[in-house]
Chain A
Amino acid sequence: MSGAQAPAIQGRELPGGTVIWLFVAIELLTFGLFFVGFAWARRSNPAPFLAGQGQLHPLLGAINTGVLLSGGWLAARGVLANRSGKTRATAAFLTGAAVSGILFMAIKLHEYADVFEAGVSLSTNTFWFFYLFLTGLHFLHVLAGVGFLLPTAWRAAGGAYGPENRSTVEAVAVFWHMVDLIWIFLFPLIYLAR
């Protein structure tokens, strides 16, 4: 199928369709409000935020950012491969993106284990509430992303998608990139900005 001619994208269109982009818009607005809430709370009482940041591992956060960005690149390659009718490559790239999500979650669980071992909970202080709430919510999105990517990769391997049937692969990739976008702001907010 690698020689198949993909239909040219007609004019300017949204990859994956309008519905997934409306969903992305709502998600980004929601997380944006939470980020502003985090920054507002930090401005009101910076001490627990500075102390909490000191207990985190920015290197693990940076590694996790790299892992998610690599997954984003793999998802984008999957979309490209699908447009060219390369079914096996599509499946491989989407599976790779899912593996990056699993790796991200493994590193995050390691971080959570450290935090909980130190006796931290949602009620410890404002910083830990925001840390656990925001990263936990993001974690659930990563989990959902992996849950979308793996079956899509499976179906792609079976030839379910291709140049004429691209919207599912594109919508799943858009969701995965949205997960990236949210983390791109979470990482500096929680780990780096002082």
Chain B
Amino acid sequence: MPEATERRSEWVLLATGCLLLALTAWSYWIAETGTTTAWFVLGIAVLKAHFIAGIFMELHAAPRVWAVSLSVFLFTLASVLIALFS
């Protein structure tokens, strides 16, 4: 793996990790201050799941059928959960 590619991958992973931590802190804060409802924290969960699947699990470089299937599953699951919570 070329050094530049490796460095870039390291930065992408670091940025993703920081973003995931920030989203976690945000969802916790939002829920604790009681300023939102279930759909918001579940929406953040879907966003975080996409980052984990796409970047950490490298689905962005996998055959598209896997990435699309997981996206469909995550959105369907979140939609059902949000509907049941509303």
Task: Determine, out of A31-39, A123-131, A152-160, the stretch whose residues face the partner at the interface.
Answer: A31-39
Q: Is there an interface contact between B45 and A73, defined as CB atoms closer than 8 Å?
A: no
Q: Is there an interface contact between A5 and B1, defined as CB atoms closer than 8 Å?
A: yes
The chain A residue with its CB closest to the CB of B58 is A15
Number of interface residues of B (CB under 8 A): 44
Number of residue pairs spanning A and B whose beta carbons lie under 8 angstroms apart: 131
Instruction: Tell me the complex Cα distance, A83–B10, Å.
Output: 12
Measured between beta carbons, the chain B residues less than 8 angstroms from A59 are 28
SS class, residues of chain B in contact with chain A:
helix
Known contacts A14-B62, A15-B62, A180-B56; decide if A192 and B13 are in contact (CB<8 Å). no
Known contacts A5-B1, A192-B31; decide if A66 and B24 are in contact (CB<8 Å). yes
Q: Is there an interface contact between A14 and B24, defined as CB atoms closer than 8 Å?
A: no
Instruction: Tell me the complex Cα distance, A184–B56, Å.
Output: 14
B interface, CB within 8 angstroms of A: 1, 6, 9-10, 13-14, 16-17, 20-21, 24-25, 27-28, 31-32, 34, 37-38, 41-42, 44-45, 48-49, 52-53, 55-58, 61-64, 66, 69-70, 73, 77, 80-81, 84-85
**Residue contacts A-B, CB under 8 angstroms, 26 given:** A5-B1, A15-B62, A28-B70, A29-B73, A32-B73, A36-B77, A39-B80, A39-B84, A39-B85, A40-B84, A42-B84, A43-B85, A58-B32, A65-B24, A77-B13, A79-B58, A80-B6, A84-B1, A177-B56, A185-B45, A187-B45, A188-B41, A192-B27, A192-B28, A192-B31, A193-B85
